[in-house]
Amino acid sequence: MDVIRGRFAPTPSGPLHFGSLIAALGSYLHSKSRGGQWFVRIDDLDTDRTIPGIGSDILRTLETFGLHWDGEVLYQSSRIAAYNEAIEQLSAKDLIYFCSCSRKEVGHNPYPGTCRKGPSNDERNPSVRLLTNNKPVEFHDLKQGIFRQNIEAEIGDFVIKRADGYIAYHLATVVDDEWQQITEVVRGADLLDSTPRQIYLQRLLGFQQPDFLHLPVATDENGQKLNKSNGALSLDQTPFRPSQLICQALHFLGQNPPENLQQKNVEHCIKWGLEHWNINLVPKEKGHD
């Protein structure tokens, strides 16, 4: 029987909040309830967003909530050589090109391939874009169902290395998922739209494609996703005990924990979650926290 390997990969731009807990708990329970392993990766590539000490704070929080990982924590900042090697592989297949377009010039429209035949402005530091094609990428998400995207038409050739030298999220994610032999990616449904780009990269690089499960995303009263930028409270700022928050997350994920479970300790709550995890009960849609 193949080993199940899941992961949780937070960005250390702020402490974990309730939305983070939902993603971490759902990922942990889905892997561990089936006898799998669960890994933690710190996505600390973008030093402009990384806050010193937050990575350690995230790990302490996970332990406080009974979410214990397997193996060593992987920091993406230690993997730059692997990402550049992947870019070299893509370059050898003539699948990348340098682009001098600014974000303002590109806007929110699909990138039209302006620099496919060469950078339009030689005075700027170029980014590296990946060539796309007109073939739709389709996959079956374990909760959201069939998802299809024509990357060239809807996104355009996308950046895999930014003009400032930082490796882009999509490339780093697929390189690390392959290296860690991740078999399932469980995360928020706000990342569903980015999955075809990652699958496209996996295919070009000859990587395995993991299963995908995109969970509902917690929102505030205005329907906005809970995140650090819109002031979501960190888990240690809420008036609730860890066991209460675990039960709230279980309820959000449709698992219907008994009311008295929140009076137990965290270990008991996690044990209940592992014994009762049922993906069929997880809702598809976003909801309020």
What's the pLDDT at 267? Answer: 97
Q: Which CATH architecture group holds 80-170? A: 3-Layer(aba) Sandwich (3.40)
* Chain segment 9-53, per-residue pLDDT in tens: 999 999 999 999 999 999 999 999 999 999 999 999 988 888 899
User: In the chain, what are the domain boundaries?
Assistant: 5-79+172-288, 80-170
Residues 254-276 pLDDT 10s? 999 999 999 999 999 999 999 99
CATH homologous superfamily for 5-79+172-288? HUPs (3.40.50.620)
- Across the chain, mean pLDDT equals 93
Q: Is the pLDDT of residue 70 over 70?
A: yes
CA neighbor of 216 nearest in space, from 147, 275, 284, 119: 284
Same fold, 5-79+172-288 and 80-170: yes
Cα first-last separation, the chain: 38
DSSP 23-38: HHHHHHHHHHTTT-EE
* Pairwise CA distance, residues 205 & 263, whole Å: 49
Answer yes or no: is pLDDT of 55 > 90.
yes
Give the pLDDT confidence of 175-225 residue by residue, as tens digits: 999 999 999 999 999 999 999 999 999 999 999 999 999 999 988 776 667
